[in-house]
């Protein structure tokens, strides 16, 4: 019997590590002892050596946390080759991760035999995840009452901002969803909701069969379990380029909530608006919208996309919650990247606005305009204000913030650009400034505010 330790680094995430859960199933089927830990363990004894340690990875900007985790667990194995690291970062930064840590790197999916034990015929990616594993940690992913699975794998697109084509390069248009969920139900009992992590289910030639499977599993419109409504969530979103009236009609047959559609480029405006109208016609009113920014877009484009959603809510009675997502290159080791049309001050301003709105853009136009401004000009003014004026806007909106914006509007374009540049620095060197107006406007950036 081998002793196997499974580790997910301590960063915050919404969805459990299905890869580790399938590895757990594999080793338990072999009769091995398996333990799961979220983050850095305080109770493990270094003198106890594990036969293998598997560590999962997510985004590359978690680099520091990932390296810290790997290095911590080195003392629990005889050699670093007994540590296996896989997942997103391991695939995208394979060579650098190996050079930095010396551990074994597993890239892509575990979708071929013999990947963990030479000669073994098991395809680990086809195994049912071990949900019991999660009971060993106090960390909650918020999916305790949901089945989690895939109806497809991969994506036929190769968007430059997306890692799917590198991690799952082959698009599989149909997986036996009914078998997955029935097996989970037999093992763990009925669950109320269904969360599917497909990257582009609408691209599947078997889309109708997938919807039929979902309905046969008991997830039809109005379905309940133990008195509560059931919901289906295609969590990675639906590609509007594949969304036809026929497919929207099929989606309306299942209790999809929310319908997630990305609005990544302003060039998609006409097609996007048409899709939202189509959803409303079919009675799908609860929507969630990913809005990519800091990529090839401008701040003006970003504002317009957000406003379009709020105006659609007012017009159609939809409930579109927008979730802005800052673009970070696939190989970035932190979140500091600044897009061509953005600057550090604007990005920080957007972050502060989202802190005030709890990370989402709500339904009503008046709330939107209070947070982001009534037009693009106001948005750009708000986004460069001192942080506490943005985050605690109710406290400052009628005095300091209002005076600051009036003074800001009296600056020349050159001074405005200089303010955005200097206010991004810490600390600010006031001695080098010649403009008295600029000094006055920059002063609040250096204040320590207690709230």
Do 265 and 240 contact (CB within 8 A), yes or no?
Answer: no
CA 187 to CA 438: how far, in whole Å?
Answer: 66
Residue 269 and residue 208 share a domain: yes
Nearby residues of 90 by Cβ (< 8 Å), 6 or more positions away: 57, 97, 105, 106, 107
Q: Check residues 427 and 348 and name the one with the higher pLDDT.
A: 348
- Does the pLDDT of residue 425 top 90, yes or no? no
**Average pLDDT for residues 269-286, to the nearest whole number?**
97
Residue 347 in domain: no
Same domain? For 303 and 438 the reply is no
Same domain for 364 and 396? no
Q: Residues 173, 91, 56, CA angle at the centre, nearest 5°?
A: 95
Average pLDDT over residues 283-288: 96
pLDDT band for position 48 (50/70/90)? confident
**Which of 92, 126, 160 corresponds to the end of one domain?**
126
Residue 170 lies in a domain: yes
Say yes or no: 369 and 300 in one domain. Answer: yes
Q: Is residue 319 part of a domain?
A: yes
Cis peptide before 258 (omega within 30 of 0): yes
| CATH code of 163's domain | 3.80.30.20
Share of the chain above pLDDT 70, in %: 99
Same domain, 203 and 310: yes
Same domain, 59 and 94: yes
Q: Supply the mean pLDDT for the chain.
A: 93
Position 178 in a domain: yes
CB 181 within 8 A of CB 194: yes
pTM across the whole model: 0.92
Give domain status of residue 348, yes or no.
no
Contacts of range 152-155, beta carbons closer than 8 Å, 24 or more positions apart = 152/198, 152/199, 152/200, 152/201, 152/203, 152/204, 152/206, 152/210, 153/109, 153/111, 153/198, 153/199, 154/199, 154/200, 155/199, 155/200, 155/203
Which CATH number covers residue 52?
3.40.50
Residues 36 and 164 in one domain: no
Q: Is residue 133 part of a domain?
A: no
pLDDT for position 448:
55
Q: Which of 159, 164, 218, 165 is nearest to 193 (CA)?
A: 218
The 3-state DSSP class for residue 319 equals: strand
* Band of pLDDT at residue 421, cut at 50, 70 and 90: confident
What was the pLDDT predicted at 224? 97
- List, for residues 171-194, the tens digit of each pLDDT value: 999 999 999 999 999 999 999 999
Structural contact between residues 124 and 22, judged by C-beta atoms closer than 8 angstroms:
yes
| One domain, residues 179 and 328 | yes
What per-residue confidence (pLDDT) applies to 451? 47
Under a CB-based contact definition with an 8 Å cutoff, are residues 414 and 436 in contact?
Answer: no
Q: Is the pLDDT of residue 290 over 80?
A: yes
Please name the helix (run of DSSP H) or strand (run of DSSP E) that holds residue 390, with its range, or none: helix 387-391
- What are the residues whose beta carbons fall under 8 Å from the beta carbon of 387, sequence distance 6 or more? 348, 349, 352, 445
> Same structural domain for residues 30 and 98?
yes
pLDDT above 80 for 434: no
Residue 407 within a domain: yes
Q: What is the pLDDT of residue 99?
A: 97
Confidence of residue 52 (pLDDT cuts 50, 70, 90): very high
Number of structural domains found in the chain:
3
Q: Which residue range is the domain that position 409 belongs to?
A: 389-446
Domain boundary (101, 126, 151) is at: 126
User: Which of 126, 158, 192 delimits the end of a domain?
Assistant: 126
- Decide if pLDDT at 98 tops 60: yes
What's the pLDDT at 79? 95
Work out the average pLDDT over 253-267.
Answer: 95
Asked if residue 143 and residue 69 are part of one domain, the reply reads no
The answer to whether position 198 is within a domain reads: yes
Beta bridge pairs of residue 195: 148, 233
Q: Based on the domain organization, do 273 and 145 belong to the same domain?
A: yes
Q: What is the pLDDT, as a whole number, of residue 439?
A: 79
Q: Output DSSP code: residue 404.
A: H
The whole-number pLDDT of residue 397 equals 75
Where is pLDDT greater, at 161 or 372? 372
Identify whether residues 280 and 235 lie together within a single domain: yes
* Averaged pLDDT for residues 344-367: 92
């Amino acid at each position: 019997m081998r002793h196997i330790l499974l580790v997910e680094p301590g960063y915050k995430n919404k969805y459990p590590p299905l890869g580790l859960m399938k590895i757990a199933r594999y080793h338990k089927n072999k009769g091995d002892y398996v333990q799961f830990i979220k983050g850095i363990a305080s109770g493990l004894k270094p003198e106890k050596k594990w036969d293998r340690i598997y560590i999962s990875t997510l985004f590359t900007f978690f680099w520091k946390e990932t390296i810290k985790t790997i290095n911590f667990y080195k003392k629990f194995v005889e050699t670093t080759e007994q540590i296996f690291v896989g997942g997103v970062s391991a695939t995208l930064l394979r060579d650098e991760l190996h050079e930095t840590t010396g551990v074994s790197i597993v890239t892509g999916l575990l979708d071929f035999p013999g990947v963990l034990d030479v000669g073994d015929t098991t395809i680990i990616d086809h195994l049912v995840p071990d949900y019991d594993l999660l009971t060993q940690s106090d960390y909650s992913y918020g999916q305790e009452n949901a089945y989690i699975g895939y109806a497809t794998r991969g994506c036929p697109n190769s968007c430059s901002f997306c890692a799917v084509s590198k991690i799952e390069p082959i698009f599989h248009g149909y997986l036996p969803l009914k078998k997955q969920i029935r097996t989970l139900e037999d093992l763990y009992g009925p669950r109320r909701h269904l969360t599917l992590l497909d990257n582009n289910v609408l691209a599947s030639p078997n889309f109708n069969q997938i919807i039929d499977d979902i309905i046969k599993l008991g997830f039809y419109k109005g379905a309940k379990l133990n008195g509560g409504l059931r919901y289906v969530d295609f969590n990675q979103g639906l590609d509007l380029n594949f969304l036809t009236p026929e497919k929207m009609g099929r989606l309306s047959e299942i209790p999809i909530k929310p319908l997630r559609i990305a609005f990544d480029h302003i060039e998609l405006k006409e097609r996007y608006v048409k899709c939202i109208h189509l959803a409303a016609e079919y009675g799908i009113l609860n929507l969630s919208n990913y809005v990519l920014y800091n990529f090839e877009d401008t701040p003006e484009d970003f504002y317009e996309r957000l406003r379009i959603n709020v105006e659609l809510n007012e017009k159609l009675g939809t409930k579109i919650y927008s979730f802005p997502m800052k673009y970070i290159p696939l190989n970035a080791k932190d979140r500091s990247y600044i897009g061509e049309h953005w600057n550090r001050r604007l990005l920080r301003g957007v972050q502060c606005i989202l802190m005030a709105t709890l990370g989402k853009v709500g339904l009503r136009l008046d709330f939107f305009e209070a947070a982001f401004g009534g037009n693009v000009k106001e948005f750009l003014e708000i986004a460069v204000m001192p942080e506490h004026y943005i985050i605690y806007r109710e406290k400052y909106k009628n005095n300091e913030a209002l005076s600051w914006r009036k003074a800001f509007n009296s600056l020349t374009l050159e001074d405005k650009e200089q303010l955005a540049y200097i206010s991004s620095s810490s600390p600010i060197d006031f001695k080098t400034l010649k403009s008295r107006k600029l000094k006055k406007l920059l002063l609040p950036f250096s204040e320590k505010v207690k709230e």
